A and B are shown apart, each in its own frame.
Chain A
């Protein structure tokens, strides 16, 4: 009798063990790959979700967990995840300075070997697409989303009504500001709570005034390079000239780009232009298709006496880049996931969403996209965003001093000096 009860207990324990193990068994069957990105528009998120689904279908046994996170919150979340050593397997970034911090800490997988194994995949992309994710000759990211140039968007109807043409030179721009101001319309809509928005004006002005070499030399601490170069100081002066002329819609330093404060000004006709990355076109098309019909863009104007090429652009070839974190248990599968997220189907879908993944030989009938592609391919140089190119610390100094320039609370000379001091301190 006793042995019977013992065997019963054994059976019970056995049964429980099977029960307890069965979720484990299920887990072993489907491995999870986490992926984080910052595509929060309906179109952008869907393309990535579809890419994830294609990967799951082609690789049974893997499950993809995707999170699409709002721009500014994303930067913080990623930093915390890396700091806690629990980053997602696959993550999007802008390349440049911040990605380099993670690379320096040994937290990002070198993708060079994957790319040399699959040369066909690598050669699909424009070579320039890898420049912001290559450190010491090793590639750490795959260009994923868009080819972006920062351009001067403007409201065609408004310009026509005021008999204005898009400004090609600084003097024309100041005239546009004056004419619109008289009609109580701001020339520019700017949401500068976010700071990187105002930074674009500064970067373009430095490029137009001093050419691309000024920043490159100052950032690399090359001989003769300095953030107190006259080009930086003049850029600050030009910004303050615009501010004093009333070029920016009221409240610019407190408006939030992430909640659409600057676009609202364009839609309502209270502002005529916005300097913004070309991604804005797809945002506007999603948000306000009616206004999209009135939208056109032009290049940033030239500055008298400037050494820069009027065709040089500020932008990025790739926009977002997918990388794999070192803690990822399945890097091979993660790379396959990245391939799915950047495959031809997704490239086509992105075209329809007004975005150009930097893949060679991409054809579209969309005149807007063709103009962007032409703009970038004909550009004598493509300057990357300062706040992403610089180290995170210098980037903050640049963003803060530029916001202060817009607020007229710092002189261009003092702003340049602060930047130079910070760069010197960091180089030590």
Chain B
């Protein structure tokens, strides 16, 4: 064997070794990357492509219109109204869902074992299908036969009876109330899980030092939960920005666009007006806006980041 030969073999062994180290990484990543590309990247890119077309989504009649759809979107009052409604939904979701869910979680956590039945009861709304829930609440809100107005008139408070889903000023709020009712249990469970990792001895030590329950909650438990709260706020905001189902079932975005959301608007544009191109523009814009809102929320809540 000549010295040259040995020199040749050394790097190839190293190469082989490094390949051996890389292979598992590649093998384990391929499935995930594959599915991400097929189900995330490809639809994303193709919906951006579609947003440049004037096309009804059937056959081969598509026409390239460049940025025309985007210009139309910029001037589309209904879209901006929908965006405003999404932001309103996000604001009220955080405002109502977080405190109520937190309160329920803390109380149930204190009650510990005795609260098992309550835990299940409070969890029920989350288990119901949105469609069934929507139909039930459509009946509850019915201005002529619904129990809400029925109750109000029974206690002689007819002045408070309203056309809950048919009045443009109330429709969105009426649905938001149901959205909160449906989602509070989810955040309750999230907070309960967070509280379960709360070290008991911390509370006991604080109590020995004479701290009241309120102090323990505000000064110890809440800071302990800050990472969970941050996650919950993120989920609520992002979920609200792409919300669809209860609005679609209960008001269909009406009356006169009063409760329209970006997602319902996109749906109507594609499936009722047969404008796949413009609908894709709405969808792409929605993606950009949701990403932006998520990024801003993440930035604003960064200082509360903890490991959960």
Contact = CB atoms under 8 A, between A and B. Distances in A.
B143 A407 contact: no
A309 to B, nearest CB: 32
Interface residues of B, number: 34
Nearest to A79: B271
B251 A254 contact: yes
A393 B254 contact: no
A264 interface: yes
Given A254-B163, A254-B165, A400-B257, A265 B271 contact: no
Contacts of B57: 79, 83
B126 interface: no
* Interface of chain B: mostly helix, strand, loop or mixed: loop
Contact of A254 (B59, B254, B274): B254
Given A105-B61, A392-B274, A407 B135 contact: no
B273 interface: yes
Given A79-B271, A261-B142, A404 B60 contact: no
A79 B279 CA distance: 14
Contact of B135 (A254, A259, A392): A259
B274 A79 contact: yes
A284 interface: no
A193 B273 contact: no
A195 B141 CA distance: 19
Contacts of B84: none
Interface in A382-414: 391-393, 395-396, 400, 403-404, 406-407, 409-410
A75 interface: yes
B305 interface: no
A252 B256 contact: no
A49 interface: no
Nearest to A404: B256
A195 B254 CA distance: 9
Interface string A249-277: 11111111001010011001010000000
28 contacts: A76-B272, A82-B58, A98-B274, A102-B58, A107-B58, A193-B252, A194-B252, A250-B144, A251-B163, A251-B165, A251-B166, A253-B166, A253-B167, A253-B255, A253-B256, A254-B163, A256-B138, A259-B135, A259-B138, A259-B139, A261-B142, A264-B145, A268-B145, A391-B274, A392-B273, A403-B256, A404-B256, A407-B256
Shortest beta-carbon contacts, A-B, top 8: A105-B59, A254-B166, A254-B165, A105-B58, A251-B143, A253-B255, A392-B274, A404-B256
Interface of B: 56-61, 135, 138-139, 141-145, 163-168, 171, 251-252, 254-257, 268, 271-276
